[in-house]
């Protein structure tokens, strides 16, 4: 165990979860009948938005519950201008920062859209609000919602308030991670054109960051809020790591690799926070939130629920690690050389779009940020598994899907010199 030298959460004005057993997720393990969900979503749409979808489809989600609404029409029968919408039940942690966070997310989406990046825009209620807090409204047909145990409880049975609801436009496109395995042609195209995909992704990220800088966009709530998976909650995850070491869920070798990252990140980054470039980040810039169109081009960015003010290099590290894991699933022989190749290509495109290269200090710690993200992903997955086991059997495949790959990549990076990635990206910056 090491001694913390970083600023406290109070000094950073960053709220953190109350304890290691805090339940954020309301997602896919809700035990609700399909027809009940249809009733709830339909009534919310009719009562607060004056619309009626012809079809309601539940989408994948981690912390939230999301529904795709198709062929939406106004109650008078006229079709909506946007017939595809997404209804989101906001997770419990994010909801703690409403309404300011909801407004900040809507403004960020509008700002980014004005820069040419397609992203979902908010739909206001009949009363002009950005979200519905229906637990404090008089909606007769939903009066019994509070009596529904599986909706009134968190994913693991903990009592939670009814979450707020937001409605946004549905952006056409397929998540990159789904697209690459959708057909043999898509898989082959991705493998053959991975550099092109890296360039498009890096360009999108640079445009996103540049737009926030150009408009000095960083509302106070984005300095107070950070998603559960954020590096700002480093000590929250460190406490979970200490708990996990006492179980048989983590191999000794993996525990040692994680411990090294915790100690290095604590001293090299958190203890020198002001030395790194900071600003608004997407926070979850990965293959699930980057969309691809029918022409195999990166076309949109979704899910701003993790956006907050943080280390700028965080988004670049996320893009590198998740793109590499996607690549490694398709190319079994993938190794550090491939990782460096993707990192270099992404960094070059990102810097060109941003308009400048991140400072040498930031780039020198890129590999550490990549490893830190891997550790948080691993620890968060194990935490979810631990909480689930306390409440009986739960379907955990969606949580643990990437755990083996995370451990593989973490092991690869732990066995190589961080300077390898630094040199590759430094070369890209000098090109």
| Burial letters 198-209, b for 16+ CB under 10 A, else e | bbbbbbbbbbbb
In a domain, 101, yes or no: no
Whether residues 255 and 370 fall in one domain: yes
pLDDT in tens, 82-114: 789 999 989 888 999 999 999 999 999 999 999
Extended beta strands in 158-307, E state: 165-169, 174-175, 278-281, 290-292, 298-301
Least confident residue range of 3-12, 21-30, 195-204: 3-12
Count CA atoms closer than 13 A to 5's CA, side-chain side.
13
Q: Give the domain range for residue 283.
A: 174-430
Please tell me whether the peptide bond between 99 and the residue prior to it is cis, using omega within 30 degrees of 0: yes
In a domain, 97, yes or no: no
Of the residues 103, 135, 169, the one at which a domain ends:
169
Instruction: Please state the φ and ψ torsions of residue 109, each to the nearest 5 degrees.
Output: -60, -40
Whether residues 150 and 182 fall in one domain: no
Two tokens, residue 413: 């990076």
In a domain, 108, yes or no: no
**Is the per-residue pLDDT at 394 higher than 60?**
no
Of the residues 112, 134, 169, the one at which a domain ends:
169
Q: Which of 144-148, 319-323, 399-403 has the highest mean pLDDT?
A: 319-323
In a domain, 6, yes or no: no
In a domain, 322, yes or no: yes
pLDDT of residue 122: 96
Instruction: Give CA–CA dist 142/138, Å, rounded.
Output: 8
Whether residues 162 and 179 fall in one domain: no
Quickly state the pLDDT bin for 22 (edges 50, 70, 90): low
Whether residues 163 and 191 fall in one domain: no
Mean pLDDT of 1-16: 42
pLDDT of residue 161: 61
Two tokens, residue 425: 């990206």
Whether residues 191 and 323 fall in one domain: yes
Whether residues 335 and 410 fall in one domain: yes
pLDDT of residue 372: 95
Quickly state the pLDDT bin for 76 (edges 50, 70, 90): confident
* Stated pTM of the model: 0.88
Whether residues 338 and 256 fall in one domain: yes
Instruction: Give CA–CA dist 98/114, Å, rounded.
Output: 24
Two tokens, residue 394: 């739960």
Quickly state the pLDDT bin for 81 (edges 50, 70, 90): confident
Question: Who's near 47: CB < 8 A, 6+ residues apart?
Answer: 134, 139, 141, 142
| CATH number, domain containing residue 211 | 3.90.1200.10
Of the residues 169, 199, 230, the one at which a domain ends:
169
Higher pLDDT, 409 or 355: 355
Whether residues 158 and 249 fall in one domain: no
In a domain, 49, yes or no: yes
Whether residues 362 and 294 fall in one domain: yes
Under 8 Å between Cβ of 94 and 229:
no
Count up the domains in the chain and report the number: 2
Quickly state the pLDDT bin for 352 (edges 50, 70, 90): very high
In a domain, 216, yes or no: yes
In a domain, 74, yes or no: yes
Whether residues 162 and 142 fall in one domain: yes
Instruction: Give CA–CA dist 346/205, Å, rounded.
Output: 9
Quickly state the pLDDT bin for 406 (edges 50, 70, 90): confident
Least confident residue range of 125-134, 217-226, 362-371, 420-429: 420-429
3-state secondary structure 90-144: CCHHHHCCCCHHHHHHHHHHHHHHHCCCECCCEECCCCCCCCECHHHCCCHHHCC
Whether residues 396 and 373 fall in one domain: yes
Whether residues 286 and 241 fall in one domain: yes
pLDDT in tens, 182-233: 999 999 999 999 999 999 999 999 999 999 999 999 999 999 999 988 999 9
pLDDT of residue 21: 64
């Amino acid at each position: 165990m090491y001694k913390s030298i970083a600023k406290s959460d109070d000094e950073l004005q960053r709220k953190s979860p109350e304890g290691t057993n805090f339940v954020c997720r309301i997602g896919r393990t809700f035990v609700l009948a399909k027809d009940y969900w249809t009733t709830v979503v339909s009534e919310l749409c009719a009562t607060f938005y004056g619309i009626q979808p012809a079809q309601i489809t539940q989408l994948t989600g981690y912390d939230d519950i999301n529904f795709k609404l198709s062929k939406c029409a106004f109650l008078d029968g006229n079709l909506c201008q946007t017939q595809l919408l997404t209804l989101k039940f906001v997770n419990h942690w994010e909801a703690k920062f409403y309404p300011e966070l909801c407004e900040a997310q809507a403004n960020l989406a509008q700002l980014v859209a004005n820069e040419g990046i397609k992203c979902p825009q908010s739909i206001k209620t009949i009363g002009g609000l950005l979200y519905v807090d229906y637990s404090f409204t008089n909606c007769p047909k939903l009066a019994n919602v509070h009596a529904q145990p599986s909706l009134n409880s968190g994913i693991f049975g903990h009592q939670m308030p009814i979450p707020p609801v937001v409605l946004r436009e549905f952006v056409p496109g397929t998540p990159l991670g789904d697209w690459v395995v959708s057909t043999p042609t898509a898989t082959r195209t991705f493998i053959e054109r991975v550099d092109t995909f890296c360039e498009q992704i890096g360009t999108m990220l640079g445009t996103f960051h540049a737009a926030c800088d150009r408009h000095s966009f960083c509302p106070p709530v984005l300095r107070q809020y950070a998603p559960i998976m954020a590096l700002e909650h480093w000590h929250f995850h460190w406490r979970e790591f200490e708990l996990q070491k006492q179980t048989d869920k983590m191999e000794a070798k993996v525990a040692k690799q994680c411990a090294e990252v915790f100690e290095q990140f604590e001293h090299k980054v958190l203890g020198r926070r002001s030395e790194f470039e900071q600003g608004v980040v997407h926070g979850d810039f990965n293959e699930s939130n980057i969309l691809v169109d029918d022409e195999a081009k990166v076309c949109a960015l979704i899910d701003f629920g993790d956006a907050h003010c943080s280390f700028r290099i965080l988004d670049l590290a996320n893009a590198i690690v998740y793109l590499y894991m996607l690549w490694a699933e398709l190319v079994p022989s993938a190794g550090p050389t491939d990782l460096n190749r993707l990192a270099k290509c992404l960094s070059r495109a990102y810097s060109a779009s941003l308009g400048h290269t991140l400072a040498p200090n930031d780039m020198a710690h890129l590999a550490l940020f990549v490893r830190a993200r891997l550790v948080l992903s691993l620890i968060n997955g194990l935490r979810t598994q631990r909480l689930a086991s306390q409440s009986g059997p739960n379907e955990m495949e969606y949580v643990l899907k990437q755990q083996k790959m995370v451990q593989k990549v973490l092991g690869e990076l732990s066995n190589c010199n961080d300077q390898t990635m630094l040199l590759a990206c430094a070369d890209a910056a000098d090109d």
